[in-house]
Amino acid sequence: MIMKRSAVIFKKCLVVAVLFALLIGGGYFYYYRTYYEWALEFGLIEPTKQPSPITQNASFEDRLIAHGAGKVRWQTKTDSKEAFLNAIAEGFRFIEIDLRKTLDGHYFAAHRYDEFEEITGRTGMGLIPPTAKDVRSRKILNQYTPLFLTDIAVILKEHPDVFLVTDKARDFDLLLKEFPFPDRMIVEVSSLGQYYAALRAGIRYPALNKLNSESVDRFGVNMLVINPGILKIHEKKISQYIKNGVCVLVASYPSSQDIPKKHRLLPNMLFYVDRW
């Protein structure tokens, strides 16, 4: 009797373990869009090389990206409406915002859920996303306004020369629904599968957030995001990529004055900065 009961418990635990593995595996499979990588590897889809969002003769100033919406007063990386508007006023052509999804399915500007909780005076750990109504009711650092992707669309409709750069958003259909300007949005992605999923969804400028030679050489990846340390170590290789037309985004620097002069002269390279 005891052995029979133990066998039943074991089977139930096994079913739970299998379901959990399928859930985690399926989430990984979907998140990284692994099936696109397989399709590329087996020749089911052709590599596509997208254009660069900047011209070869773009000035250094026009290649700066306001990181986390730049600064407002003395504060940086607030991802707030006031910072976004200030970045436009300061002359930034590219403004970077991290996006997270509300519980009811809308993108809003936040680096992490727990960080948003902290800077808006809440004590939660950010395990459950806030609703859109809840986000609207808050203030960042007791004074700044949270920003939704739909708000950014309204603002940039009046500023046709300004691009949005975004990270952490993987629902590409929702991105395009709430920001219907695919030719004015750079979307950071973390895998080759996400890169091609974004292209197929209609995102014109996905940027792979890693230095992956195979992705560039075999699969036509034309935009990369790297950090200054990687640029220093692989400067020769990255310079060759730039000569071949690859657009490279470097994240990030405290200010534009901290960018080495020799790198400022490289065409087709953009730089994230916390302040001008």
Kindly indicate the confidence band of residue 1, based on its pLDDT and cuts at 50, 70 and 90.
low
Contact 135, 102 (CB under 8 A): yes
| Residue 108 tokens, joined | 């809003």
Q: What is the 3-state secondary structure (H, E, C) of the chain?
A: CHHHHHHHHHHHHHHHHHHHHHHHHHHHHHHCCHHHHHHHHCCCCCCCCCCCCCCCCCCCHHHEEEHHHCEECCEECCCEHHHHHHHHHHCCCEEEEEEEECCCCCEEECCCHHHHHHHCCCCCCCCCCCCHHHHHCCCECCCECECEHHHHHHHHHCCCCCEEEEECCCCHHHHHHHCCCHHHEEEEECCHHHHHHHHHHCCCEEEECCCCHHHHHHHCCCEEEECHHHHHHCHHHHHHHHHCCCEEEEEEEEEHHHCCHHHHCCCCEEEEEEEC
d(CA 98, CA 51): 23
Total tally of structural domains belonging to the chain: 1
Evaluate whether residue 238 is within a structural domain: yes
Please tell me the predicted confidence (pLDDT) of residue 5. 54
Closest CA to 275 of 46, 96, 44: 96
- pTM for this structure? 0.87
Evaluate whether residue 13 is within a structural domain: no
Region of 220 on the Ramachandran plot (φ > 0 left; ψ -120 to 50 alpha; else beta)? left
CATH of the domain at 103: 3.20.20.190
Evaluate whether residue 231 is within a structural domain: yes
Evaluate whether residue 101 is within a structural domain: yes
pLDDT tens digits, 121-164: 987 666 789 999 999 999 999 999 999 999 999 999 999 999 99
Please tell me the predicted confidence (pLDDT) of residue 16. 36
| Residue 257 tokens, joined | 């004055």
- Residue positions counted in the chain: 276
Please tell me the predicted confidence (pLDDT) of residue 2. 55
Evaluate whether residue 3 is within a structural domain: no
Evaluate whether residue 203 is within a structural domain: yes
Evaluate whether residue 7 is within a structural domain: no
pLDDT tens digits, 245-261: 999 999 989 999 999 99
Kindly indicate the confidence band of residue 34, based on its pLDDT and cuts at 50, 70 and 90.
confident
Containing structural domain, residue 111: 49-275
d(CA 39, CA 87): 40
Evaluate whether residue 100 is within a structural domain: yes
Closest CA to 188 of 231, 239, 233, 249: 249
Please tell me the predicted confidence (pLDDT) of residue 106. 98
d(CA 254, CA 270): 14
